[in-house]
Protein backbone atom coordinates (compact mmCIF):
# COMPACT_ATOMS: atom_id res chain seq x y z
CA UNK A 1 0.00 0.00 0.00
CA UNK A 2 1.23 3.47 -0.83
CA UNK A 3 0.57 5.92 1.99
CA UNK A 4 1.49 9.05 0.05
CA UNK A 5 -0.55 9.43 -3.14
CA UNK A 6 1.50 12.16 -4.73
CA UNK A 7 4.75 10.23 -4.41
CA UNK A 8 3.72 6.60 -4.53
CA UNK A 9 0.86 5.86 -6.90
CA UNK A 10 2.15 4.59 -10.24
CA UNK A 11 -1.25 5.33 -11.81
CA UNK A 12 -1.76 8.85 -10.41
CA UNK A 13 -2.33 10.26 -13.90
CA UNK A 14 -5.73 8.53 -14.06
CA UNK A 15 -6.88 10.25 -10.90
CA UNK A 16 -5.44 13.57 -11.99
CA UNK A 17 -7.30 13.44 -15.33
CA UNK A 18 -10.52 12.02 -13.89
CA UNK A 19 -11.12 14.16 -10.81
CA UNK A 20 -8.64 17.01 -10.68
CA UNK A 21 -8.92 18.59 -14.13
CA UNK A 22 -9.43 22.38 -13.69
CA UNK A 23 -9.71 22.07 -9.90
CA UNK A 24 -8.54 24.66 -7.41
CA UNK A 25 -4.96 24.21 -6.13
CA UNK A 26 -6.32 23.64 -2.62
CA UNK A 27 -8.46 20.74 -3.88
CA UNK A 28 -5.47 19.13 -5.58
CA UNK A 29 -3.41 19.51 -2.40
CA UNK A 30 -6.16 17.92 -0.27
CA UNK A 31 -6.48 14.94 -2.63
CA UNK A 32 -2.72 14.44 -2.66
CA UNK A 33 -2.63 14.59 1.14
CA UNK A 34 -5.59 12.28 1.86
CA UNK A 35 -5.88 9.83 -1.06
CA UNK A 36 -4.55 6.34 -0.40
CA UNK A 37 -3.70 4.07 -3.33
CA UNK A 38 -3.77 0.34 -2.68
CA UNK A 39 -2.76 -2.45 -5.01
CA UNK A 40 -5.03 -5.51 -4.99
CA UNK A 41 -4.29 -8.93 -6.42
CA UNK A 42 -6.85 -10.82 -8.47
CA UNK A 43 -9.55 -12.09 -6.11
CA UNK A 44 -8.85 -9.62 -3.29
CA UNK A 45 -11.88 -7.96 -1.73
CA UNK A 46 -11.99 -4.16 -1.74
CA UNK A 47 -15.10 -3.95 0.43
CA UNK A 48 -18.01 -6.19 1.41
CA UNK A 49 -21.73 -5.47 1.24
CA UNK A 50 -23.22 -4.11 4.48
CA UNK A 51 -19.84 -3.09 5.93
CA UNK A 52 -19.54 0.57 7.01
CA UNK A 53 -19.11 2.86 4.00
CA UNK A 54 -16.00 4.93 4.49
CA UNK A 55 -15.59 6.77 1.20
CA UNK A 56 -15.15 6.61 -2.55
CA UNK A 57 -12.85 4.27 -4.52
CA UNK A 58 -11.46 5.16 -7.95
CA UNK A 59 -10.02 2.40 -10.14
CA UNK A 60 -6.64 3.69 -11.34
CA UNK A 61 -5.71 0.41 -13.03
CA UNK A 62 -7.41 -2.97 -13.45
CA UNK A 63 -10.95 -4.35 -13.13
CA UNK A 64 -13.31 -4.64 -10.18
CA UNK A 65 -16.48 -6.75 -9.97
CA UNK A 66 -19.44 -5.34 -8.05
CA UNK A 67 -22.06 -7.82 -6.85
CA UNK A 68 -25.27 -7.53 -4.93
CA UNK A 69 -27.85 -10.14 -4.08
CA UNK A 70 -31.43 -9.07 -4.71
CA UNK A 71 -33.83 -11.73 -3.37
CA UNK A 72 -32.89 -14.87 -5.34
CA UNK A 73 -31.01 -12.96 -8.06
CA UNK A 74 -27.54 -11.48 -8.19
CA UNK A 75 -26.66 -8.19 -9.87
CA UNK A 76 -23.13 -8.03 -11.31
CA UNK A 77 -21.12 -5.36 -13.01
CA UNK A 78 -17.49 -4.91 -13.97
CA UNK A 79 -15.91 -1.51 -13.40
CA UNK A 80 -12.56 -0.78 -15.02
CA UNK A 81 -9.90 1.95 -15.07
CA UNK A 82 -11.47 5.34 -14.40
CA UNK A 83 -14.53 3.89 -12.68
CA UNK A 84 -15.78 5.26 -9.37
CA UNK A 85 -17.28 2.92 -6.77
CA UNK A 86 -18.59 3.45 -3.27
CA UNK A 87 -20.62 6.51 -4.20
CA UNK A 88 -23.44 5.36 -1.96
CA UNK A 89 -21.25 6.41 0.97
CA UNK A 90 -21.87 10.04 -0.05
CA UNK A 91 -25.54 9.72 0.75
CA UNK A 92 -27.21 8.83 4.01
CA UNK A 93 -26.28 5.18 3.77
CA UNK A 94 -24.12 3.83 6.52
CA UNK A 95 -22.98 0.71 4.69
CA UNK A 96 -21.90 -0.35 1.21
CA UNK A 97 -24.74 -1.68 -0.93
CA UNK A 98 -22.50 -3.99 -2.96
CA UNK A 99 -19.40 -6.10 -2.58
CA UNK A 100 -16.32 -5.21 -4.63
CA UNK A 101 -13.61 -7.70 -5.60
CA UNK A 102 -10.60 -7.37 -7.93
CA UNK A 103 -11.03 -9.35 -11.16
CA UNK A 104 -7.41 -8.64 -12.11
CA UNK A 105 -4.42 -7.09 -10.40
CA UNK A 106 -5.67 -3.57 -9.72
CA UNK A 107 -4.69 -0.27 -8.15
CA UNK A 108 -7.53 1.52 -6.36
CA UNK A 109 -7.41 5.04 -4.91
CA UNK A 110 -9.51 5.68 -1.80
CA UNK A 111 -10.77 9.11 -0.73
CA UNK A 112 -12.58 9.40 2.62
CA UNK A 113 -16.24 10.42 2.61
CA UNK A 114 -15.76 13.63 4.60
CA UNK A 115 -13.03 14.83 2.22
CA UNK A 116 -15.20 14.17 -0.85
CA UNK A 117 -18.17 16.00 0.67
CA UNK A 118 -16.04 19.01 1.59
CA UNK A 119 -14.52 19.19 -1.91
CA UNK A 120 -17.92 18.87 -3.58
CA UNK A 121 -19.10 21.84 -1.56
CA UNK A 122 -16.03 24.01 -2.16
CA UNK A 123 -14.93 23.29 -5.75
CA UNK A 124 -17.40 23.27 -8.64
CA UNK A 125 -14.84 21.73 -11.04
CA UNK A 126 -14.32 18.80 -8.66
CA UNK A 127 -18.09 18.38 -8.29
CA UNK A 128 -18.55 18.29 -12.09
CA UNK A 129 -15.63 15.88 -12.55
CA UNK A 130 -17.01 13.50 -9.92
CA UNK A 131 -20.50 13.66 -11.46
CA UNK A 132 -19.11 12.94 -14.93
CA UNK A 133 -16.98 10.04 -13.63
CA UNK A 134 -19.92 8.56 -11.76
CA UNK A 135 -22.08 8.53 -14.91
CA UNK A 136 -19.83 5.88 -16.46
CA UNK A 137 -19.14 3.89 -13.32
CA UNK A 138 -20.92 1.27 -11.21
CA UNK A 139 -23.34 3.52 -9.34
CA UNK A 140 -26.48 2.00 -10.89
CA UNK A 141 -25.73 -1.50 -9.64
CA UNK A 142 -24.56 -0.11 -6.30
CA UNK A 143 -27.75 1.83 -5.75
CA UNK A 144 -30.32 -0.46 -7.28
CA UNK A 145 -28.68 -3.85 -7.24
CA UNK A 146 -29.48 -4.75 -10.83
CA UNK A 147 -27.91 -3.28 -13.91
CA UNK A 148 -26.43 -6.05 -15.92
CA UNK A 149 -25.90 -9.78 -15.82
CA UNK A 150 -28.78 -11.07 -13.73
CA UNK A 151 -28.61 -14.76 -13.05
CA UNK A 152 -30.24 -17.21 -10.68
CA UNK A 153 -28.29 -18.29 -7.60
At residue 90, the pLDDT reads 73
Q: Residue 46 in contact with residue 100, Cβ under 8 Å?
A: yes
For residue 93, the model assigns a pLDDT of 66
> 5-152, what's its fold?
Jelly Rolls (2.60.120)
Helix 12-19 × helix 124-135 angle, to 10°: 110
pLDDT string in tens for the chain (153-residue length)? 333 444 356 767 787 888 888 999 999 999 989 989 999 999 999 999 888 888 999 998 999 999 887 655 667 888 898 888 888 767 766 788 889 999 999 999 999 999 999 999 999 999 998 888 877 664 444 444 434 333 333
The pLDDT of residue 12 is: 74
Return d(Cα 29, Cα 66) in angstroms, integer: 30
CA–CA dist 29, 24 (Å, integer) = 9
Amino acid sequence: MNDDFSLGCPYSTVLELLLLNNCKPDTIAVIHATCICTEYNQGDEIFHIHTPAQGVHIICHGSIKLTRRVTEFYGRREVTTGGVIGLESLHHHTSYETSARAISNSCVAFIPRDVILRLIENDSAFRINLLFASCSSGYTVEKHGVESGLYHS
